[in-house]
Amino acid sequence: MGSDAVPEELLEVREKIDQIDTRLVELLAERFALTHRVGLLKASRELEAVDAQREAEKLANLRLLCAQHDLNPELVAQLFTSIMEEVVRNHRRLQEDQRK
pLDDT band of residue 100 (cuts 50, 70, 90) is confident
**pLDDT score of 3:** 55
Q: Helices in 1-100 by DSSP H: which ranges?
A: 8-44, 52-68, 73-99
- Report field, pTM of the whole predicted structure over 0.85: yes
In this prediction, residues 1-18 reach a mean pLDDT of: 88
3-state secondary structure of 50: coil
**pLDDT score of 32:** 98
In this prediction, residues 31-39 reach a mean pLDDT of: 98
**pLDDT score of 99:** 84
Domain count along the chain: 1
Range of the domain at 10: 3-99
Report angle CA 75, 54, 23 to the nearest 5 degrees. 50
Q: What is the CATH number of the domain that holds 60?
A: 1.20.59.10
pLDDT at 2 over 70: no
